[in-house]
Amino acid sequence: MKVAVLYGGISPERNVSITGGLAVIKALQELGHEVVPIDPAYGANGKQSIEEIISPSNSISLEELAKFESRKIIECVNSSLFDGIDVAFIVLHGKYGEDGKIQALLELRGIPYTGSNIKASAIGIDKLASKMLFLAAGISTPQWLTVREKDFGNYEYFEEIRSELGDNLVIKPNDQGSTIGITIVEDGNLDEINKGVDLASKFSDIVIVEQFIEGREITVGIVGGEALPLIEIEPEEGFYDYEHKYTKGKTEYICPAEVTEDIAEFMQNQALSAYNIIGCSGFARADFRLDDEGQPFLLEINTIPGFTATSLVPMAAKEIGIEFPELCDRIIQLVFNKNNNHIDENEEE
């Protein structure tokens, strides 16, 4: 099969995407697929050989990102690079990759692609929209308020937020991932809230200020409509930020997470409910906080989660015997078999 692996892109998660793309390229080549590596940031010149792809060790700055043009993505998908492509494996994160835009271009070009469709992608990356759907479906999510441009720097409004949500707050952009632009405020300090809003506003027009839930960080991967084993995330210090996500040895992962069978099953069902409410397909990952009373709070659902051999979804899949190359191949097969909603139970055993 001729597979275009789309990686890189022009979001702040560009470098994470390059690392994941490289892993998928190698896995699919190992399986014998004809792989075409494509970085849409370079337009019609986006095709690279595997030898040319360098996995970055740090994040990309906003100044570096400003050098890229979004119209290059249109140019890329409309070019001869996609001639004869059977399927596109999307490993793009954030804006122009996980938000439905690249999916729309591929549909217009008639190229099948992995993961969720346009609508589910757009809703999944929009924290405000997805949290409202979670609430409507009875799925617990931390209380939140939004800050829009008219209230940037408005300390009176920040006092209202603190009064309603408490002193411990999470401030984040509405449509980013990889903890980019996120701030944890632990004492309700108004200056810290203002700094957090200012940082988040550099990445999104809408800022989410969310009640911080004390407890454990748990994630649930989903492949083909089936929830994978839970993973608990334990950063060595602080919170699970960009550095702890992508620096080896900075975080311990426990899979399966050490929770009771009832809690594990409940969290898997909550993850599947969110997956179905959003309209996801293929694969995804739901992130939770689990408080001391055993109550899970769904933070968000990622329609294109991190995807290297050591990322969370592949880690959970490995726990039930699915190695990374097989997982990549399985995700491609799901594109052509929409009725295949579950991992084969015999293979799982």
Residues 208-217 have pLDDT tens digits of 999 999 999 9
The whole-angstrom separation of Cα 82 and Cα 217 is: 40
In a domain, 243, yes or no: yes
Contact between 300 and 94 under an 8 Å Cβ cutoff? The reply is no
Asked whether residue 66 falls in the same domain as residue 177, the answer is: no
**Lowest-pLDDT range of 45-59, 157-171, 184-198, 238-252:** 238-252
Number of domain units in the chain: 3
Residues 72 and 163 both lie in one domain: no
Same domain assignment for residues 271 and 307: yes
Q: Which one, of 146, 98, 155, 141, lies nearest residue 270 by Cα?
A: 141
Q: Where does the pLDDT of residue 55 fall: very low under 50, low under 70, confident under 90, or very high at 90 and above?
A: confident
119 domain residue, yes or no: no
For the segment 107-114, the average pLDDT, to the nearest whole number, is 97
Contact 14, 65 (CB under 8 A): yes
In a domain, residue 229? The reply is yes
Domain with residue 156: its CATH number is: 3.30.1490.20
What's the CATH code of the domain at 238? 3.30.470.20
pLDDT of the residue at 308: 87
Answer yes or no: do 193 and 264 share one domain.
no
Does residue 124 sit within a domain? no
Query: pLDDT tens digits, residue range 265-286?
Result: 999 999 999 999 999 999 999 9
Structure tokens at 126: 């929009």
User: Stretch 291-306: mean pLDDT, rounded?
Assistant: 95
Residue 120 is encoded by which pair of tokens? Answer: 């589910």
240-246 mean pLDDT: 44
| Domain membership flag for residue 138 | no
**199 plus 223 within the same structural domain:** no
Per the structure, the complete domain to which residue 155 belongs is given by 143-211
CATH classification of the domain holding 50: 3.40.50.20
Question: Any idea what DSSP says for residue 61?
Answer: P
C-alpha 157/C-alpha 306 separation (Å) is 35
The DSSP element (H or E) to which 136 belongs, if any, is helix 127-136
Q: Answer whether residue 122 is part of any domain.
A: no
Percent of the chain with pLDDT over 70: 91
Whether 222 is in a domain gets the answer yes
Confidence (pTM): 0.89
Q: Residue 114 and residue 148: Cα distance in Å, rounded?
A: 33
Residues catalogued as catalytic: 13, 178, 246, 285, 287, 300, 302, 306
